[in-house]
Amino acid sequence: MTRFIKPDAAHSERRGRVLTVLDAALTAVDPAAAIRRVVRREGDVLHVAGHTYDLGRVRRVIVIGGGKAGASMTAAIETILGERITAGHVNVKYGYTAPTDRVTVHVCGHPVPDAAGVDGVRAMVDLLDDMTGDDLVICLISGGGSALMTLPVAGVALADMQALTEALLRSGAPIQAINTVRKHLSQVKGGRLARLAYPANVIALILSDVVGSPLDTIASGPTVPDPTTFADALAVIERGGIADEVPAAIRHYLMSGAAGRMPETPKAGDPVWARVQNVIVADNARAAEAAVERAQALGFHTLLLSTYVEGEARDVGQVLAALAKEIAASNRPVPRPACLILGGETTVTVQGKGTGGRNQELALAAALAIQGMGNVLIASLATDGTDGPTDSAGGLVDGSTVARGAALGLSAQAALDNNDAYPFLAAVDDMLVTGPTNTNVNDLMAVFVFDK
């Protein structure tokens, strides 16, 4: 039994096998299991990825953080530390909750930050007041943390950050660029959260949602040195062509920072880093490897091509279709029945006014390219269960997707041109729907080519 709501496995036996593979990937990056793999307690000794901490010498244990996997991660930490937790506050996306006892799980807005998120970060900052070297801060970080841990610098309002976020998302800028700007407008991002906790010891447990898992980019790197500058942030805005959309208060602050009138984010060499341990507990590679293992067990010749996929979603969809055609024609790079697994995160430069997300757009573009192929299925999945501002997790298409839409009076090409994949995929029942998965490790893509 998979966690997928749509498409139903009964839609076809082949689709059921695809969903089984995708479900194995999600199970492999369950946040609670990921925490338990790297954190264990033996009496007063806490073991974390090769480091040990003597809880008998710890005055307070504070748990803070933010991200879509925050509730599950919190529940796991509570199971391990129990009564040793003094207090805690973790921000999560609406709907991404789990029962907790000692740590407050606070729901707020994503991908555009809201007032609830700001209030939650203020509560975290209050918990870090009067830290000493005898305190231990456990920071739980996962995808979505950049939006969910918003506390603007003085002079910048929440409304300014909301407008900036929307402009950056529409621009199609990669997440590294978006977070470069966010880091320089935040009281906690770009290493500033670790600075607030200093001189306490900080253990950051991180579920990566960024290609390659660069620590300074995941959730805008609240507990790591920031290699970017105010000048870099201004350059992102200029390259994105959104300078006229950025609120005046933000432009003024960034320009003041570039001129040396505002303090930079903490850099490598700052003494604060001697008190910080950052640990990646799960990432896209683990999910992709689990998908490979399950596909092989189901009898597919399977290859993990890359976990570094980036680029325009519709372009990547065409590439996946090309791979399927190569396998169908020549049994390369693996023979039929074949399964190719890829991971990463694509982007969409929004030109239309439709509804969708990057995984839905990728799937629809692939569907256009595999029309008439009776032995191909292509899936694109957001592992957090939310693809763009929709309740979809992505799409699962085949050679009949476009024709089935046409029979309903729908044009796949028109939908793609208008960035309107959601209603098309919903109409033909090719939507992937999971509901909140409480994890987030980028996107997974899969190409299946059957014998006939």
DSSP assignment letter at 347: B
Name the pLDDT band for 1 (thresholds 50, 70, 90). very low
Question: Are 293 and 276 in a shared domain?
Answer: no
Q: Are residues 41 and 14 in the same domain?
A: no
Considering the domain architecture, whether residues 89 and 220 belong to the same structural domain is answered as: yes
Nearest to 376 by CA among 393, 355, 353, 396: 396
**Same structural domain, 306 and 426:** yes
The pLDDT value recorded for residue 171 is 85
From the centroid of its chain, how far is CA 91?
A: 15
H helical segments located in 11-114: 13-28, 31-38, 70-81
Cβ within 8 Å of residue 305, ≥6 positions away: 323, 333, 340, 341, 342
Same domain, 191 and 308: no
Check whether residue 313 and residue 389 sit in a common domain: yes
Residues 436 and 293 in one domain: yes
Residue range 60-78: average pLDDT? 96
Residue type, 196: L
How many Cβ atoms from other residues are within 10 Å of residue 273's Cβ? 20
- The answer to which of 2-6, 74-78, 115-119, 225-229 has the lowest mean pLDDT is 2-6
Structure tokens at 122: 């203020």
pLDDT digits (tens, 9 = 90+) for 4-59: 776 665 568 999 999 999 999 999 999 999 999 999 999 999 999 999 999 999 99
Q: Choose among 225, 70, 35, 220: nearest CA to 142.
A: 70
234, part of any domain:
no
Q: Is residue 249 part of a domain?
A: no
Question: What pTM did the predictor assign?
Answer: 0.86
Place of tokens 């600075």: 195
Tell me, yes or no, whether 325 lies in a domain. Answer: yes
Per-residue pLDDT for 169 more than 70? yes
Q: What would the mean pLDDT of 324-341 be, rounded to a whole number? A: 98
Q: In whole angstroms, how large is the CA radius of gyration of the chain?
A: 22
Percent of the chain past pLDDT 70, that is, above it, reads 98
Quick check: is 270 in a domain? yes
Query: Is 91 in contact with 117 (CB distance < 8 Å)?
Result: yes
Classify residue 82: in a domain, yes or no: yes
Give the CATH number of the domain where residue 445 resides: 3.40.1480.10
CATH number at residue 139: 3.40.50.10180
In terms of domains, do 347 and 388 share one?
yes
- What gap in Å lies between CA 62 and CA 137, rounded to an integer? 5
Structural domain includes residue 1: no
Q: What is the pLDDT of residue 2?
A: 52
- Is the predicted pLDDT of residue 342 greater than 60, yes or no? yes
Lowest mean pLDDT among 169-178, 209-218, 296-305, 310-319: 169-178
For residues 134 and 375, give the distance between their C-alpha atoms in angstroms, rounded to a whole number.
62
**Are residue 21 and residue 128 in the same domain, yes or no?**
no
21 shares its domain with 107: no
Residue 386 falls inside a structural domain? yes
Note the maximum CA span of the chain.
70
Ranges 5-19, 266-280, 426-440: which has the least confidence: 5-19
Residue 156 in any domain: the answer is no
- Which of 236, 253, 282 terminates a domain? The answer is 282
Together in a domain, 329 and 293? yes
Looking at residues 425-435, what average pLDDT do you find?
Answer: 96
Arithmetic mean of pLDDT, 395-417: 98
State how far Cα 70 lies from the chain centre.
12
Instruction: Let me know: does 439 contact 384? Beta carbons within 8 Å.
Output: yes
Residue 205's domain comprises 31-151+186-228+265-282
Same-domain status, 14 and 55: no
The pLDDT mean for the chain works out to 95
- Beta-strand runs (E) in 310-433: 338-344, 376-382, 394-398, 431-432
Count of structural domains within the chain: 2
Give CA–CA dist 114/96, Å, rounded.
Answer: 16
